[in-house]
Structure 1
Amino acid sequence: MERHKQAVSEISAAVKGFFDRKEPYRIFHGSTNSTRPFRRDRYVDISALNNVIEVDKARRVALVEPNVPMDRLVESTLRHGLIPPIVMEFPGITTGGGYAGTAGESSSFRHGFFDDTINEVEMVLANGDVVTARPEGPRADLFRAAAGAVGTLGITTLIEIRLIEAKRFVRTTYHRTNSVKEAIDRVHAETLRPENDYVDGILFSKDHGVIITGSLTDEKPPDNAKPQTFSGAWDPWYYLHVRDRTKSLPSSSTSPDAPSPVDYIPLAEYLFRYDRGGFWVAASGFDYFRLVPFTRFFRWLLDDLLHTRMLYRALHGSGESAHFFVQDLALPYANAEKFIDFAADKTGIWPLWLCPLQQTLPPTFHPHTGEPAEETAAGSSGTGDSANPNPENAASSTRGPRGKPMLNIGLWGWGPKDPDVFVATNRAVEAKLTELGGMKWLYAHVYQSEDDFWRAYGGRAWYDALRAKYGAESLPTVYDKVHIDGDARTNELKQARQAFKSRWPVGGLWGIWKAIRSRDYRLHRDAQWKYKEGKELLPEEK
């Protein structure tokens, strides 16, 4: 902890200096995808905050610095037989990013967003003060607002995360559906079943959906079957595996006697199952290069380039991210089908990801509808311990009151090539989302006006009062950080189309070169969480 305290002291002094001089600054995490010139004198460097300080098995907590990625966190906790209740699906997502942004996964129907699993955060405020904020207590308002506020209320420097008991496998079942409505109804029904620890879904088309449920277990696969893995270069990509296991099956709702396919997936392999291929975004790279067949052989040959860390490097380096939809959109269940029909007609993007969520009631920067939870059977109201029927993991239950459950839709794929149409399509998606009572996650660009943005969050009075209370008025607002001017973006895209890098395949090759130079491929090559029979990270007594 002495090393941590020294690092935080230096960060505090740097922030105070900028505050006293009334100078703006940016945060340097150790790497950046920014295209702006790098000026060290205008940055606060927090790259040293990248350690798991402690895993306390007795208290079931982990003390973690903000630049610790999910894979290192999972490797550290599994050695103690524990796991975070929420693990974001990409190994490179950091704990600090999970707190400052909106972060959820297939266990979020039970445990809420990532910040719902946090006991406390240490923060450096905009004036340099170092404080601790907790969900209850004097700075509960700061804790709640900073979750999702994309770093506009201070710099997170330490996080205490609650942990639950880990198991060796996730018994994963694939439930085939034949329509969008059936898939939505099935997602909701599965969140009410106490045996499910994980629920998500993939819509491959309007008539081929799969709702995926998972239960933590120490049972071994039956008949000495080999556990299903997804991290090896010759392993299938997860979404392709799900598609192939279910494409010839009848609906599990209309044919309840038909068996649903089951896999026993090692726990960490399940948590990072979407890493290879970045869900299905990497398939777009094959579309871009055209001459490279989308076959299992070429996915094996190019495996180093097809993990999410490398994909992000290549996407930003190529400049093609400016033409890509990467958005998560949360809606009331009642309106999800209408939005999916609209998005399919407007964008033509398939597959779509479905992830059931608990919502945090406003004021919050997490997506929400503001509808209070209904009092129903245990596990469905999302309040207190009723959200978690497993007594041994009761400490991970979310804090009430909660909102009515929502459904998240992941919309990821190529957008229109024409810059005017690309911007217009983004605006149309935002307008339809607002019309249907939904909200987008703020990792994506926001095109709507400032008045419309703040109206969606119940006005900005609550946020401005917190900025004044905690001395953050000198920092950019959330809207400043996430908004993009539509006209400026159109001009930017038009200029990009005329640039040399926009010529096929120059941009793509440049992006690959940038990814290789980062050497991030070594991180997945050397990952300790990958399943090796007899060499799992769980402790021997398990």
Structure 2
Amino acid sequence: MPLRRGWDQHRAAVDRLCSSYAALPDGVPVRLAKPTSNLFRPRARSAAGLDVSGLTGVIDVDPATRTAEVQGMCTYEHLVDATLPHGLIPLVVPQLRTITLGGAVTGLGIESTSFRNGFPHESVLEMDVLTGAGEVVTTRPGDDLFDAFPNSYGSLGYATRLRITLEEVPGHVSLRHLRFDEAGMLAKTLAEVVETGRYDGSAVDAVDGVGFAPDELYLTLARWDDGAVGDDHDEAPPSDYTGNRIFYRSLQQRETDRLTTYDYLWRWDTDWFWCSRAFGAQHPVVRRLWPRRWRRSDVYHRLVRLDQRFGIADRLDRRAGRPQRESVIQDVEVPVDRLPEFLAWFDEQIGMRPVWLCPVVAQRAWPSYPLEPGVTFVNIGFWGTVHVGPEAADAPLNRAIEDKMLELGGHKSLYSEAFYDRDTFDRLYDGPNLARVKAIHDPDDRLTTLYDKAVRRL
């Protein structure tokens, strides 16, 4: 059931948050006391945490205006549970259930509707932010704090309330999987779909893709489907990929598909895209024994944290005589016309497949993540490890990816490790403007800077 909050409950929760902030001694790093995280950068441990326990719900959904008032720590799982009964969803719903709305706005969220709707922060009409000065500030598009907030990762404060725009959706989604034998034709087709919003005479409401190999790539075109099974419809019941069947494998097995809207939104969460295979969760025997309620991204994420804490994979590699691993977990954006070049380089230098492909078009300029508005970029997501040997600690592959981004005019998200020098980082993410806005709203430097968070891991 969705977590619903009234306005009185919300105000009481904000008061508790402010009190916990004021109680922190000077010099103590400020962190959120969150039970889950979707970050993949190591960071210094901190015992203190802000009390956000009452900021995890939906305050109000207004079907008439297609808006919702949402608390900053509300997960998209709970947000969708509150909006979908009204036939509404956020304009962009990131792939993983436990990503929070505030996290997707201060970080970067993306999904298959991003070619139409951009990033999650572009549907925010207003938000309240707890700043480094301990004040809750209401900010709107055009304000310095609002405009610098996306991709600031808490370095400018934490969103406590956001008013967002919603869009109407029917109960089902029809899918069409297109196979390509090379990346050039996929990029050309993707650019046309983004420009026209159509393919082969039909509307396209959402699009993403998967590259399994250099000669096996797929685009999945989604269309909102308001038809019901029965009553003049011949469709079979919608597919279910929360059980023994695995969604990403279906792209290779069938040309068309149909899911409920709910299952479409979380199609990637059940197997954490394809990463659940690292835990054996895709083996038929293991899958039958693995409870459905534990087939979700936050469970796999906790298993990764356990491995990092105890070095289980490293111990097994040493025992088997395998080279040391480098973790290569990144999402990068490149212009659509440079996608084939990047994938060719990636196959030669990194050699990791599958990769996720998702187009995004920024609706306006955002200083802290400056993608040119109206230009089609493609997000390429790749998450895994590569055996590189003793130099793994120096992250040679991740550094090479960063260099390639500079060459191609691309960008990379900062939810994972970054290695840029300070000057390059400030140039890419508009460090001077971030510093200016931070000086206004965090004059005593109580919040960690973006560079310290993303690169120095503080």
TM-score (norm 1): 0.74
* Structure 2 residue matching 1:479: 3-state secondary structure: helix
Among 241, 250, 263, the residue aligned to 1:241: 250
Give the match for residue 194 of structure 2.
191
Residue correspondence of structure 1 range 9-48 to structure 2 within 5 A: 9-18=15-24, 21-31=26-36, 39=47, 42-48=48-54
Q: Note if contact 2:36-2:98 (Cα within 8 Å) is conserved in structure 1.
A: no
* Structure 2 residue matching 1:123: 3-state secondary structure: strand
CA distance 1:37–1:327, change in 2 (3 Å): closer
1:408 aligns with 2:396: no
Q: Distance in 2 between matches of 1:484 and 1:129?
A: 27
TM-score (norm 2): 0.87
Q: Give per-residue Cα distances to partners, 1:297-328, cap 9 Å, x unaligned.
A: 43332354542111100011111698432210
Give the match for residue 313 of structure 1.
302
Among 302, 305, 308, the residue aligned to 2:290: 302
Among 213, 237, 256, the residue aligned to 1:262: 256
Amino acid at match of 1:309: D
CA distance 1:177–1:37, change in 2 (3 Å): closer
Among 187, 206, 219, the residue aligned to 1:211: 219
Shift of 1:463: 1.4
Q: Distance in 2 between matches of 1:178 and 1:57?
A: 44
More strand by share: 2
Shift of 1:344: 1.2
Residue correspondence of structure 1 range 7-406 to structure 2 within 5 A: 7-18=13-24, 21-31=26-36, 39=47, 42-136=48-142, 140-194=143-197, 195-220=203-228, 222-231=233-242, 233-234=243-244, 236-245=245-254, 261-286=255-280, 295-304=283-292, 305-319=294-308, 323-359=326-362, 362-366=365-369, 368-370=370-372, 402-406=373-377
CA distance 1:448–1:360, change in 2 (3 Å): farther
CA distance 1:317–1:9, change in 2 (3 Å): same
User: Which runs of 5 or more structure 1 residues have no equivalent in the other structure?
Assistant: 246-260, 287-291, 371-401, 489-542
Q: Give per-residue Cα distances to partners, 1:47-101, cap 9 Å, x unaligned.
A: 2211111111112111111221111111111112211111111111111111111
Percentage identity across aligned positions? Answer: 28
Q: Distance in 2 between matches of 1:9 and 1:306?
A: 36
* Structure 2 residue matching 1:356: 3-state secondary structure: strand
Residue correspondence of structure 1 range 417-428 to structure 2 within 5 A: 418-421=389-392, 423-428=395-400
* Structure 1 residue matching 2:387: 3-state secondary structure: coil
1:464 aligns with 2:452: no
Shift of 1:154: 1.0
CA distance 1:303–1:278, change in 2 (3 Å): farther
How many residues of Structure 1 are paired with residues of Structure 2 in the alignment? 424
Shift of 1:192: 2.6
* Structure 2 residue matching 1:350: 3-state secondary structure: coil
Shift of 1:123: 1.0
Shift of 1:269: 0.6
Shift of 1:481: 0.5
Q: Give per-residue Cα distances to partners, 1:282-303, cap 9 Å, x unaligned.
A: 22334xxxxx9x5434333235
Q: Note if contact 2:108-2:413 (Cα within 8 Å) is conserved in structure 1.
A: yes
Give the match for residue 439 of structure 1.
411
Q: Note if contact 1:119-1:161 (Cα within 8 Å) is conserved in structure 2.
A: yes
Q: Distance in 1 between matches of 2:338 and 2:46?
A: 44
Q: Distance in 2 between matches of 1:303 and 1:484?
A: 38
Shift of 1:13: 3.3
* Structure 1 residue matching 2:234: 3-state secondary structure: helix
User: Which runs of 5 or more structure 2 residues have no equivalent in the other structure?
Assistant: 1-6, 198-202, 314-324
